[in-house]
């Protein structure tokens, strides 16, 4: 059976005839077209579904109408339910530092403005962004990135954050210039244990770009995949860690940061499909407002 033919029969049965159905359908269609498609449905089923004049459903037509009526009656409610789901459900992917430091407060503010809002959160790596968006695993992703994205995706820059070293409070240097003066060797290497994220991470790649531009080399001694672990290893004296300076986030007790102004900053962006949902547009607006407030603050902590 053709579903469109069933839909036409539903309207014919509901409104008591083809002429009345044509006048009452939510879309335009000519009476001869309805008649022809109803005849095709009857031919496919091998039965007559209704008497034409006066209109009356046959027993077979009554059985069919009773079966399809609940489905077509609920289509309007179903459409509203789907629209509401799309307007109140946001699937958000983000890097760990964004999830930890910024999203809780932003989400609470958004929920206060839009009761019923649901936000599904997923921690993602930045090399997963394009795949997650194209497959609609996420509606929007926020984090640090390098490189380009497919044409179907839009990239909005939110802010640029400077790279930094995470060091113990008692570390003898307070500036990057002092670090170079104390630890740089004649061959351009730095004689200081370095604790860093994996080499494929955006922050580590950006850090090594800065080293190369400055004619420096610095081998990683401890590689870990989590900034919390970097903090712990720095606290225990295993070396200094790679970090970024985040506005409005304070340094943990016993640690401080040394900004590296000569290295390229890390770009933090929001990435989403160009054909975006309304809820995504609203989130981007709220996110940019939050970032604007954040950028005006000067305190910093570990990423």
* pLDDT at 152 (0 to 100): 87
Domain match, 249 and 202 both: yes
In this structure, the answer to whether residues 35 and 96 fall within a common structural domain is: no
CATH of the domain at 260: 3.40.190.10
Q: Rounded to 5 degrees, what are φ and ψ at 111?
A: -65, -35
Q: What strands lie across the sheet with 240-244, from one edge to the other?
A: 220-223, 194-196, 240-244, 163-168, 255-259
What rounded mean pLDDT belongs to the chain? 89
Per-residue pLDDT tens digits for 155-208: 999 989 999 999 999 999 999 999 999 999 999 999 999 999 999 889 999 999
Check whether 299 has a pLDDT greater than 80.
no
248 within some domain = yes
One domain, residues 277 and 146: yes
Q: Which domain holds residue 208?
A: 163-264
The answer to whether position 303 is within a domain reads no
Q: Retrieve residue 284's tokens.
A: 């981007």
Q: Is residue 232 part of a domain?
A: yes
Structure tokens at 215: 């004619």
Residues 88 and 135 in one domain: yes
């Amino acid at each position: 059976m053709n579903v469109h033919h069933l839909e036409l029969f539903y309207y014919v049965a509901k409104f008591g005839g083809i002429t009345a159905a044509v006048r009452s359908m939510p879309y335009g269609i000519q009476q001869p077209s309805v008649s022809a498609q109803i005849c095709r449905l009857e031919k496919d089923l091998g039965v007559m579904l209704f008497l034409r004049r006066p209109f009356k459903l046959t027993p077979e037509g009554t059985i069919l109408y009773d079966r399809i009526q609940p489905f077509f009656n609920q289509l309007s409610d179903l459409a509203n339910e789907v629209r509401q789901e799309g307007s109140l459900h946001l699937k958000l992917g983000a890097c760990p530092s964004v999830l930890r430091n910024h999203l809780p407060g932003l989400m609470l503010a958004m929920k206060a403005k839009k009761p019923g809002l649901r936000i599904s959160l997923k921690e993602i790596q930045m090399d997963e962004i394009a795949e997650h968006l194209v497959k609609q695993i996420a509606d929007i992703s926020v984090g640090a990135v390098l490189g380009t994205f497919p044409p179907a995706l839009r990239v909005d820059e939110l802010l640029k954050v400077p790279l930094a070293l995470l060091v113990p409070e008692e570390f003898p240097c307070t500036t990057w210039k002092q670090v170079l003066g104390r630890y740089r060797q004649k061959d351009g290497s730095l004689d200081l244990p370095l604790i860093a994220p994996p080499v494929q991470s955006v922050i580590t790649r950006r850090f090594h770009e800065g080293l190369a531009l400055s004619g420096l080399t610095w081998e990683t001694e401890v590689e870990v995949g989590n900034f919390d672990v970097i903090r712990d290893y720095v606290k225990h004296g295993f070396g200094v860690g790679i970090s970024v300076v985040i506005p409005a986030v304070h340094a943990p007790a016993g640690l401080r940061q040394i900004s590296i102004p000569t290295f390229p900053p890390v770009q933090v962006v929001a990435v989403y499909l160009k054909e975006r949902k309304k809820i995504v547009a609203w989130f981007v607006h709220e996110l940019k407002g939050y970032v604007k407030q954040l950028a005006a603050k000067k305190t910093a902590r570990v990423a």
